[in-house]
């Protein structure tokens, strides 16, 4: 049990470190670029907007090209992803106008539900002692629906802070729901007799 906790801790720290370094690198490059313009603050905001759009497009292309690739399902990595999600959501919510409690609770419930369902659209297979998951076309369809919902709840790129907070809550709960669903399914597949 102690080694599993240590493994989760190491995975979480490693994941957070890589994300922080990548984010810092992007901010430095964008800051340096914006300093070359007549209005650095406006240029920085515009660069961040374009970088966000580019990251979304790249992520969509990667998802479409790789959704059928089998990948290992490991609880420490999923726990690290959930912890990263909670930390980044907390930071994002600190900067956003808080939505009403009922709306926030609804966004979280819908996100968890979609996430738990989305985890069932992957095919799990035993691979030695581990479990591997492969996406299906339905997995890709649910992904597209969740991206559309998240974009709608985020104001579709418009700076609507309350809607942005709801989108953040929805997408964070979605990520947690997928991870929890995959952990449960992987444990059940591991416990089931090989067949």
Kindly list the domain boundaries of the chain, sorted by start residue: 1-66, 70-195
| 78 three-state secondary structure | helix
- Residue 50 — very low, low, confident or very high, per pLDDT cuts 50/70/90? confident
The pLDDT, as a whole number, for residue 43 is 85
The pLDDT, as a whole number, for residue 159 is 44
- Dump pLDDT digits (tens) for 54-111: 888 888 898 889 888 888 888 888 888 888 888 888 877 777 777 889 988 999 999 9
Q: At residue 192, does pLDDT exceed 80?
A: no
Radius of gyration of the chain (CA): 19
**pTM for the full model?**
0.70
The pLDDT, as a whole number, for residue 12 is 64
Alpha-carbon distance 107 to 175, whole Å? 13
The pLDDT, as a whole number, for residue 75 is 87
- Dump pLDDT digits (tens) for 143-163: 888 778 767 766 544 444 556
Q: At residue 7, does pLDDT exceed 60?
A: yes
Q: For residue 97, give Cα distances in angstroms to 60, 103, 162, 163, 169.
A: 28, 13, 5, 9, 12
Shortest CA distance to 84 belongs to which of 25, 130, 148, 15?
15
Contact 177, 113 (CB under 8 A): yes
Q: Which residue has the higher pLDDT, 156 or 175?
A: 175
Pairing of strands 122-127, 71-73: unpaired
- Residue 116 — very low, low, confident or very high, per pLDDT cuts 50/70/90? very high
């Amino acid at each position: 049990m102690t080694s599993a906790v240590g493994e989760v801790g190491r995975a979480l720290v490693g994941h957070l470190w890589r994300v922080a370094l990548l984010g810092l690198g992007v901010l430095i490059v964008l800051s340096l670029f914006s300093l070359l313009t007549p209005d650095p603050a406006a240029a920085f905001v515009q660069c961040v907007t374009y970088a966000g759009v580019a990251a979304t497009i790249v992520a969509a292309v990667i998802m479409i090209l790789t959704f059928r690739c089998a990948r290992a399902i490991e609880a420490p990595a999923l726990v690290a992803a959930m912890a990263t999600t909670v930390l980044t959501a907390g930071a994002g919510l600190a900067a956003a106008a808080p939505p009403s409690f009922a709306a926030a609770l609804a966004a979280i419930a819908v996100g968890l539900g979609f996430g738990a369902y989305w985890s069932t659209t992957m095919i799990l297979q035993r691979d030695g002692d581990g479990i591997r998951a492969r996406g299906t076309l339905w997995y890709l369809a649910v992904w597209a629906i969740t991206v559309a919902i998240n974009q709608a709840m985020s104001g579709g790129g418009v700076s609507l802070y309350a809607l942005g907070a709801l989108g953040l809550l929805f997408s964070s709960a979605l990520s947690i729901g997928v991870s929890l669903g995959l952990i449960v399914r992987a444990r059940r597949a591991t416990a089931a007799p090989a067949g």
